[in-house]
A = this chain, B = another copy of it.
């Protein structure tokens, strides 16, 4: 089979691929990130690249996604274009991502656990040498001390530890350090080191997010966070959201590449963290991962296929403790990996970790945790009860499903003010606008409604005189940034369909919150604190989110951003057996309301498709 060289710019990376490979496959091989929303089906148009040298294979199928000018300039879809020549490819800024906006911060970052009781513990054992009066076997000599230390008489021991025990004891004057971990109701020995090594013990907490993967290196002795690194999830090559990735993994693509993509992420992050701190990856004895249920399935290589099919059944909700090396994660060969358990198919370990980290399950007061992404996951409760649900918000808040939507990264319009016909905006990193991100969209909807450019039903005022308001084929759109101001040279706009999609998204989230409260018979006034977690949440403008009816009309001081609470929770599990146990209890005791079959939700949803809501009494502070 012929091989061709493909060079990607601006990265200037070359890779040799077999004839017939797609440009997307070549990019992946070259470690060049190209966006992908649809999982390589050729329909989302996110993977557009420009062929600057060489002749491409067939790309007719994709013409509808390009202007004739772009086609002339050699634009193609990377996922649909085969390599039949040596090629030079330019990846335009809109088809790639930068890592600047990855949420690696979290509330409680500097927290040192009060009583550190990490999930892997090192215990120094200075044993009395055997004598005629005390000639119990080496293993009993060790375990009679060890079982007292750990307070359990069950101690699984790997054969290789036992094989080395006799020599290790005798060569080190009966002084050894045992690394042990709890595995449900058993303890197991992971390794035995010579002499006293209890001064050094490390772990990694990983938030395995759909969009980003973030790893923290944690000193398990002091509880200190030593470093944090984030990266875009490599799985984006197989689809931007979990549904696209499931379609890929459960179709001809198979699970393996999707599984391996995130393992590669994690190994890179751990490698970088260890290098920065002069550690070997073998110094890491434990990893705790938190992710949504599908991401945890991908992480562990579990079949996720039934998650997206009625009745939405995952393979598992509680995941076994494994050796990280079983899934190719490079830490100590006996290092363990725990995954935070999930509640159900669409309420995962990330939410459980967040509920645990925010302390909701420990207090009298009723508190809410919300994490808004493609799904809006909501948990409400206190120390006596917990309920949760997942509302399908659609991709709008993450920059999908809208004509000029984009993720929150450099060039995204994130703030906007409209006064009459005057409009000012701000972009992330203050670069030329490329599109508009979730927080920008919320601000836009609010500004449009406030200025009555749209009505409370989201329809544009077709009689309005405004240069920015354009009506083509009876479909109105509104120009946020004119072509001459933008990166790509085309207008950044919001269409009536975009507004409609956003109202549906915010309606779904609000209806979910309202349905959960109704289910337990409480009003909004009973909510003591409203925690907003996650990447999108961190950039949310609370007053504007309330004004459009996404969040309930509570005193603003009741809202608290808690950042990447999934990561915080994972770290707490790493540092405390008790925290991990709390997660297990939360996951098994939280009542999940399946909204797709919960009749009252439909009525709430329809009532919420209005700005801010059809029932204005719910939003006393808002007036358009």
Contact = CB atoms under 8 A, between A and B. Distances in A.
Interface string A300-335: 111101100011111111111010001100000000
A310 B130 CA distance: 9
B315 A139 contact: yes
Given A132-B597, A163-B303, A166-B306, A137 B313 contact: yes
A335 to B, nearest CB: 15
B138 A306 contact: yes
A78 B292 CA distance: 67
B166 A302 contact: yes
A595 interface: no
Contact of A302 (B162, B318, B597): B162
A282 interface: no
Contacts of A170: 306
A140 interface: yes
A302 B139 CA distance: 11
A179 B363 CA distance: 44
A146 to B, nearest CB: 14
Contacts of A1: none
Interface stretch (A57-65, A110-118, A151-159, A467-475): A151-159
Contacts of A466: none
A165 interface: yes
B139 A317 contact: yes
A141 B316 CA distance: 9
A608 to B, nearest CB: 24
Interface in A319-363: 319-320, 322, 326-327, 344-345
Contacts of A140: 316-318
A185 interface: yes
A539 B327 CA distance: 56
Counting contact residues on chain A (CB < 8 A from B), the size range is: 35 or more
A314 B140 CA distance: 10
A506 B330 CA distance: 60
B159 A326 contact: yes
Interface in A596-614: 597
Given A154-B184, A185-B186, A316 B159 contact: no
A164 B184 CA distance: 22
Given A320-B156, A320-B159, A167 B310 contact: no
Interface in A411-444: none
Given A320-B157, A326-B159, A132 B310 contact: yes
A165 B305 CA distance: 12
A320 B157 CA distance: 7
A314 B185 CA distance: 28
A136 interface: yes
B135 A316 contact: no
A482 to B, nearest CB: 51
Given A132-B311, A159-B300, A163-B315, 11 more contacts: A132-B310, A135-B313, A137-B314, A138-B306, A139-B318, A140-B316, A159-B326, A162-B315, A162-B316, A162-B320, A166-B315
Interface of A: 130-132, 134-141, 154, 156-159, 162-167, 170, 183-186, 300-303, 305-306, 310-320, 322, 326-327, 344-345, 594, 597
12 contacts: A132-B310, A138-B306, A138-B316, A157-B320, A159-B300, A159-B320, A159-B322, A164-B303, A165-B303, A165-B315, A166-B303, A166-B305
